Structure 1
Amino acid sequence: MRIDCPLCGSRDRREFYYQGAAVMLARPGPDAGEVAWDNYLHLRDNPAGVTEELWQHDGGCGSWLVVTRDTVSHVISKVEMAADVKRAMQAAS
């Protein structure tokens, strides 16, 4: 699989480190209890289909990227700088 880094161009996925889903999880409060913390740390969706994922180009420029990828076919449809996605989300709210 190849990822098109906006700064470095097309690179092998081994240059990148997968960080997980790009959606922010609601962090439980300190007094939320053991079950809430266990769920937060260990339970994740594992969807088959198009997802947005957070990757870091740690073998290159170090950029954080939001990669839109089909988890069944591994086809990547979009790669954006995470900072740009964050700014767009803040401007929309």
Structure 2
Amino acid sequence: MTHLLEKDTPFVFSEDCIQAFQTLKKKLTKAPILIALNWDLPFELMCDASDFAIGAVLGQRQEKLFRPIHYASKTLTSAESNYTMTEKEMLAVV
């Protein structure tokens, strides 16, 4: 579905897009469900990067299980895609 975000791309919600949307909807409405943050617990930030996108998950451990508080992701611009993998992962932190 990310190709729909590109400039001058006609909006065609194909069968692949519908399937991706249904999968995303299913994943986001089942465990792990987002939790409210607890200022008394330490935070954990997990970041990842690829050649075309970055992502991060902020969460906390409750009863030894990681619980997500917030998800973030972004496709990279053409300039950002030239960054080293380390720079891309640091961009995910920001």
**Structure 2-normalised TM-score?**
0.27
Decide which structure has greater helix share: 2
Structure number with greater CO (CA < 8 Å, separation at least 6) is 1
Structure (1/2) with the larger strand percentage: 1
